[in-house]
Chain A
Amino acid sequence: AQSVTQLDSQVPVFEEAPVELRCNYSSSVSVYLFWYVQYPNQGLQLLLKYLSGSTLVKGINGFEAEFNKSQTSFHLRKPSVHISDTAEYFCAVSPLSSGSARQLTFGSGTQLTVLP
């Protein structure tokens, strides 16, 4: 089984400042890793994903994330945020094993609020 912990439920940050949203996971098998964003009254949109290869992954809207296997972390970063980045961000994992066990497990989310 997998579990995902998003360490901060709310992150307020001023516009044009950098931000890091933290995600740690626990799993007995290797996993794929994802970050999703949810704007108010909308569904989830994929920001980026780590499948294999380079541990630094670039996504949409200027976001990037770094996979750290030894620390079982997948933190999301953006060097300069905009008001439009205000949203809920979800970290998720999926085991590499095939079959019905390969479901997404989500963290509880981090509300990013960008202040003017």
Chain B
Amino acid sequence: EADIYQTPRYLVIGTGKKITLECSQTMGHDKMYWYQQDPGMELHLIHYSYGVNSTEKGDLSSESTVSRIRTEHFPLTLESARPSHTSQYLCASSVLTGAYEQYFGPGTRLTVT
């Protein structure tokens, strides 16, 4: 079944640790996205990619980085986590052309203590 997966679903980690949030999709989509969502707030685009070896920054400035070595995989990394990084991170994918309807993963809720 075509789907989009995120791991871990929940992560509690101490300040200064390096973390990688995983996102994989079996949708066959070229374009992938990372959003940051604070509780009760709108989604803010932090990174997106058109395909392999393509990465772009989104509207919201973020200290995280992303990579796209494989079409189906779009991990997000924080080199040194801080309490201000506490948030929900949502991964999404879409086709390159058309209405740009996006399909979302279940999200990773990150807490940095």
Binding site for B on A (CB under 8 A): 9, 32, 34, 36, 41-46, 49, 51, 88, 90, 94, 98, 100, 102-104, 106-109, 111
Contacts and interface: CB of A to CB of B under 8 A. Distances in A.
A108 B45 contact: no
Interface stretch (B13-21, B65-73, B77-85, B99-107): B99-107
A107 B92 CA distance: 17
Contacts of A109: 40-42
A26 to B, nearest CB: 15
B90 A106 contact: no
B13 to A, nearest CB: 18
Contact of B42 (A32, A102, A103, A106): A106
A28 B6 CA distance: 35
A103 B43 contact: no
Contacts of A44: 43, 90, 92, 102, 104
Interface residues of B, number: 26
Contacts of A46: 101-103
A18 B90 CA distance: 31
A34 B104 contact: no
Interface in B1-41: 4, 6, 9, 40-41
12 contacts: A32-B100, A42-B106, A42-B107, A43-B4, A43-B106, A44-B92, A46-B102, A90-B42, A90-B43, A104-B102, A108-B41, A109-B41
Contact of A45 (B6, B42, B97, B104): B104
Contacts of A49: 99, 101
A34 B101 contact: yes
Given A34-B101, A49-B99, A107 B42 contact: yes
Nearest to B102: A104
Contact of B90 (A43, A51, A102): A43
A45 B58 CA distance: 21
Contacts of A102: 100
